[in-house]
Chain A
Amino acid sequence: MTAIPAPIRSQKKFESSLPFWQRLTTNRNWIASWFMLPAAAFLILFLAYPLGLGVWMSFTNVRIGREGVFIGLENYEWLRDDSIFWLSVFNTLLYTLVASAIKFALGLYLALLLNRHMPFKAMIRAAVLIPFIVPTVLSAIAFWWIYDSQFSIISWSLRQMGLITQNINFLGDSNWARASVIIANIWRGVPFVAITLLAGLQTVSPSLYEAATLDGATNWQRFRFITYPLLTPIIAVVMTFSVLFTFTDFQLIWALTRGGPVNATHLMATLSYQRGILSGRLGEGAAIATAMIPFLVAAIMISWFGMQRRKWQQGENND
Chain B
Amino acid sequence: MTDHAVHPPAVATVAKSDESDGMSYLETLPSRIVTLYIPLFIIVVILLFPFYWMALTSIKPDEQLIDMDSFNPFWVVKPTFKHISKLLFETSYPRWLWNTMYVAAAATFLSITASVLAAYAIVRLRFKGAQAVGALIFMAYLVPPSILFIPLASVIHAYGLFDSPMSLILVYPTLLIPFSTWLLMGYFKTIPFELEECALIDGASRWQILTKIILPLAVPGLISAFIFSFTLCWNEFIYALTFLSSTQNKTVPVAIVNEFVDGDIYKWGSLMAGALVGSLPLVILYAFFVEHYVSAMTGAVKE
Report which A residues bind B (CB closer than 8 A): 28-29, 31-33, 35-40, 42-43, 45-51, 53-54, 57, 62, 106, 109-110, 112-118, 122, 124-139, 141-143, 145-146, 148, 150-151, 153, 156, 187, 190-192, 195-196, 199-201, 204, 206, 209-210, 213, 216-219, 222, 227, 234, 237-238, 241, 244-245, 248-251, 254-255, 268-269, 272-273, 276-277, 282, 285-286, 289-290, 292-293, 296, 299-300, 303, 319
List of B residues within 8 angstroms of A112 by Cβ: 19
| A133 engages B231 (CB within 8 Å) | yes
List of A residues within 8 angstroms of B37 by Cβ: 118
List of B residues within 8 angstroms of A141 by Cβ: 256-257, 271-272, 274-275
Q: Given A130-B286, A151-B68, A210-B23, verify A195-B298 contact (CB < 8 Å).
A: yes
List of A residues within 8 angstroms of B155 by Cβ: 45-46, 49-50, 53
| B174 engages A47 (CB within 8 Å) | yes
Q: Given A116-B36, A143-B50, A300-B139, verify A51-B148 contact (CB < 8 Å).
A: yes
| Identity of the chain B residue whose Cβ is nearest the Cβ of A208 in the assembled complex | B20
Q: Given A42-B177, A57-B151, A129-B294, verify A47-B140 contact (CB < 8 Å).
A: yes
| B20 engages A245 (CB within 8 Å) | no
List of B residues within 8 angstroms of A255 by Cβ: 237, 257
B287 close to chain A: CB less than 8 A? yes
Report which B residues bind A (CB closer than 8 A): 13-24, 36-37, 39-40, 43-44, 46-48, 50-51, 53-54, 57, 65-66, 68, 73-74, 110-111, 113-115, 117-118, 120-122, 125-128, 130, 133, 137, 139-140, 142-155, 170-171, 173-174, 177-178, 181, 186, 189-190, 206, 231, 234-235, 237-238, 241-242, 252-254, 256-257, 265, 268, 271-272, 274-276, 278-279, 282-283, 286-287, 290, 293-294, 297-298, 301-303
| A299 engages B257 (CB within 8 Å) | no
Q: Given A53-B154, A57-B154, verify A241-B237 contact (CB < 8 Å).
A: no
| A35 engages B120 (CB within 8 Å) | yes
| A113 engages B301 (CB within 8 Å) | no
Q: Which of B66, B113, B268, B302 contacts A234 (CB 8 A)?
A: B302
Q: How far is the CB of B255 from chain A (nearest CB, A)?
A: 10
| A244 engages B50 (CB within 8 Å) | no
Q: How far is the CB of B9 from chain A (nearest CB, A)?
A: 14
Compute how far the CA of A244 lies from the CA of B173 in the bound complex, rounded to whole angstroms. Answer: 19
| A32 engages B24 (CB within 8 Å) | no
Number of A-B contacts (CB under 8 A): 320
| Identity of the chain A residue whose Cβ is nearest the Cβ of B277 in the assembled complex | A138
Compute how far the CA of A118 lies from the CA of B29 in the bound complex, rounded to whole angstroms. Answer: 12
| B282 engages A133 (CB within 8 Å) | yes
| A145 engages B53 (CB within 8 Å) | yes
| A292 engages B147 (CB within 8 Å) | yes
Q: How far is the CB of A21 from chain B (nearest CB, A)?
A: 15
List of A residues within 8 angstroms of B74 by Cβ: 153
List of A residues within 8 angstroms of B18 by Cβ: 116, 209, 213, 219, 222
Q: Given A134-B51, A289-B147, verify A35-B257 contact (CB < 8 Å).
A: no
| B23 engages A209 (CB within 8 Å) | yes
